[in-house]
Structure 1
Amino acid sequence: AELHREIRLLYEEKNLSGINAVDEEMRKVDAAASKLRSEASAVIDRGFAESNQNDVWCGLQVYYNLGELKPAVEGLVGKYKAAGSKSVAVALDMKAISMAAASGGGPGGVQRSGTPQIGGSKKAAEALWDRMRQCMEELHRAVSAAWQLQTVLTKKRVPFTQMLFLEEVWQEGEPLLTERVWDAIVKAFASQMKSTFTASSFVKEIFTLGYPRLFSMVENLLERISRDTDVKGTLPALTPEGKDHMISAIEIFQTAFLALCHSRLSDYINSIFPMSSRGTIPSKDQISRLVSRIQEEIEVVRTHGHLLVLVLREIGKILLLLAQRAEYQISTGPEARQVTGSATPAQLKNFALCLHLQEVHTRISSILSTLPNVASEVLSPSLGVIYGVACDSVTSLFQAMLDRLESCILKMHEQDFAGHGMDAAMDNNASAYMEELQKCAIHFRSEFLSKLLPSSSSRSETICTIMVRRMASRVLIFFIRHASLVRPLSEAGKLRMARDMAELELAVGQNLFPVEQLGAPYRALRAFRPVLFLETSQLEKSPLLQDLPASVILHHLYSRGPDELQSPLQRNKLTPLQYSLWLDSQGEDQIWKGVKATLDDHEMRVRSRGDKEFSPVYSLMLQIGSALSQATI
Structure 2
Amino acid sequence: MLKILQVQHLQKVLVKKRDPVSHVCFIDEIIKDGQPDILYTFWTDVTRTLSEDFHRATEASSFLKQAFEGEYPKLLRLYNELWRRLQQYSTNLLGALTSSGGLDMPLDITTAEVESQDLFTHGKHDYNPEKALKDSLQPYEAAYLSKSLSRLFDPINLVFPIGGRNPPSNDELESIIKTISSELNVASVDPNLSLAVAKNAAKTIQLFCVKSEQLLCTQGDASQVIGPLTEGQRRNVTVVNTLYRLQQAVAKIISALGACPPAAVDALLSSMEGVQALMSSAVQPLLQSVSDSIEAIIITLHQEDFSGPLSSPDKPDVPCSLYMKELQGFISRVMADYFKHFQCVDFVYDNTESIAQRAIELFLRHASLLRPLGEGGKMRLAADFAQMEMAVAPLCRRVSDLGKPYRMLRSFRPLLFQASELIASSPAVGDLIPYSTVLHFLFTRAPSELRSPHQRAEWSIARYSQWLDDHPSERDRLALIRGALEAYVQLVRARQGKEFASIYPIMLQLLQRATSAAQGPKA
Category of TM-score, reference length = shorter chain: 0.7 to 0.9
CA contact (8 A) 1:431 1:500 kept: yes
Change (3 A) 1:320 1:426: same
CA contact (8 A) 1:147 1:229 kept: yes
CA contact (8 A) 2:420 2:506 kept: yes
Whole-angstrom CA distance in 1 between matches of 2:462 and 2:265: 43
The letter of the residue matching 2:229 is A
Listed as ranges, the matches of 1:57-456 within 5 Å are: 138=1, 141-158=2-19, 165-166=26-27, 171-226=32-87, 228-229=89-90, 232-234=112-114, 235-239=117-121, 240-277=127-164, 279-302=165-188, 304-368=190-254, 373-422=262-311, 426-454=316-344
Change (3 A) 1:236 1:372: closer
Whole-angstrom CA distance in 2 between matches of 1:631 and 1:295: 57
CA contact (8 A) 1:531 1:544 kept: no
Which of 400, 403, 413 is the aligned partner of 1:519?
Answer: 403
Aligned-residue RMSD, C-alpha? 2.8
Listed as ranges, the matches of 1:584-595 within 5 Å are: 584-586=469-471, 587-595=473-481
Give the superposition deviation at 1:556: 1.7
* More divergent stretch after superposition (523-532 vs 167-176): 167-176
Whole-angstrom CA distance in 2 between matches of 1:268 and 1:592: 60
Whole-angstrom CA distance in 1 between matches of 2:269 and 2:450: 53
CA contact (8 A) 1:561 1:617 kept: no
2:378 matched to which residue of 1?
494
CA contact (8 A) 2:478 2:511 kept: no
Change (3 A) 1:381 1:160: closer
1:529 matched to which residue of 2?
413
Q: Greater CA radius of gyration, 1 or 2?
A: 1
* More divergent stretch after superposition (515-524 vs 546-555): 546-555
1:10 matched to which residue of 2?
none
Whole-angstrom CA distance in 2 between matches of 1:226 and 1:331: 59
Give the superposition deviation at 1:401: 1.6
* More divergent stretch after superposition (401-410 vs 283-292): 283-292
Give the superposition deviation at 1:323: 0.9
Which structure is higher in RCO with an 8 Å CA cutoff and minimum separation 6? Answer: 2
Change (3 A) 1:591 1:298: farther
Is 1:576 aligned with 2:461?
yes
TM-score, normalised to structure 1, is: 0.71
Whole-angstrom CA distance in 1 between matches of 2:339 and 2:261: 36
Give the superposition deviation at 1:226: 4.8
Q: Deviations over 1:88-109 (max 9, x none)?
A: xxxxxxxxxxxxxxxxxxxxxx
Whole-angstrom CA distance in 1 between matches of 2:308 and 2:358: 29
Whole-angstrom CA distance in 1 between matches of 2:175 and 2:393: 36
Whole-angstrom CA distance in 2 between matches of 1:298 and 1:561: 71
Change (3 A) 1:284 1:358: same
The letter of the residue matching 2:399 is V
Whole-angstrom CA distance in 2 between matches of 1:558 and 1:631: 28
1:544 matched to which residue of 2?
428
Give the superposition deviation at 1:501: 2.2
Q: Deviations over 1:208-247 (max 9, x none)?
A: 3433333333334445545654654344232343332222
Is 1:504 aligned with 2:365?
no
SS of corresponding position for 2:119: coil
The letter of the residue matching 1:246 is L
2:104 matched to which residue of 1?
none
Change (3 A) 1:483 1:224: farther
1:77 matched to which residue of 2?
none
CA contact (8 A) 2:11 2:119 kept: no
Whole-angstrom CA distance in 2 between matches of 1:162 and 1:305: 43
Q: Deviations over 1:505-525 (max 9, x none)?
A: 112213655312222221122
CA contact (8 A) 2:241 2:343 kept: no
SS of corresponding position for 2:166: coil
Is 1:617 aligned with 2:507?
yes
Change (3 A) 1:280 1:199: farther
The letter of the residue matching 1:181 is F
2:106 matched to which residue of 1?
none
Give the superposition deviation at 1:205: 3.6
1:484 matched to which residue of 2?
368
Change (3 A) 1:430 1:195: farther
The letter of the residue matching 1:567 is S
SS of corresponding position for 2:156: helix
Whole-angstrom CA distance in 2 between matches of 1:510 and 1:316: 36
Give the superposition deviation at 1:422: 1.9
Give the superposition deviation at 1:366: 4.6
Give the superposition deviation at 1:377: 3.1
Give the superposition deviation at 1:338: 1.6
- Structure 1 residue runs without a partner (length 5+): 1-137, 455-459
Change (3 A) 1:528 1:168: closer
Aligned pair count reads 487
SS of corresponding position for 1:396: helix
Whole-angstrom CA distance in 2 between matches of 1:280 and 1:412: 43
Whole-angstrom CA distance in 2 between matches of 1:347 and 1:598: 46
Whole-angstrom CA distance in 2 between matches of 1:167 and 1:346: 77
Change (3 A) 1:321 1:430: same
Q: Deviations over 1:37-62 (max 9, x none)?
A: xxxxxxxxxxxxxxxxxxxxxxxxxx
SS of corresponding position for 2:155: helix
Is 1:472 aligned with 2:359?
no
Whole-angstrom CA distance in 2 between matches of 1:262 and 1:446: 42
SS of corresponding position for 1:544: coil
CA contact (8 A) 2:307 2:373 kept: yes
Q: Deviations over 1:593-613 (max 9, x none)?
A: 222322333344455646565
Whole-angstrom CA distance in 2 between matches of 1:358 and 1:551: 42
Q: Among the aligned pairs, what percent are the same residue?
A: 29
Give the superposition deviation at 1:395: 1.5
2:109 matched to which residue of 1?
none
Whole-angstrom CA distance in 1 between matches of 2:245 and 2:356: 23
The letter of the residue matching 1:215 is L
CA contact (8 A) 1:225 1:237 kept: no
Q: Deviations over 1:460-505 (max 9, x none)?
A: 732x222122222221222222212212222211211121222221
The letter of the residue matching 2:451 is Q
TM-score, normalised to structure 2, is: 0.84
1:80 matched to which residue of 2?
none
Q: Deviations over 1:348-368 (max 9, x none)?
A: 111000111122223324544
CA contact (8 A) 1:445 1:512 kept: no
Change (3 A) 1:369 1:591: farther
CA contact (8 A) 1:143 1:237 kept: no
Whole-angstrom CA distance in 2 between matches of 1:228 and 1:588: 73
Change (3 A) 1:187 1:416: same
Whole-angstrom CA distance in 2 between matches of 1:453 and 1:553: 41
The letter of the residue matching 2:332 is I
Give the superposition deviation at 1:280: 2.4
The letter of the residue matching 1:599 is L
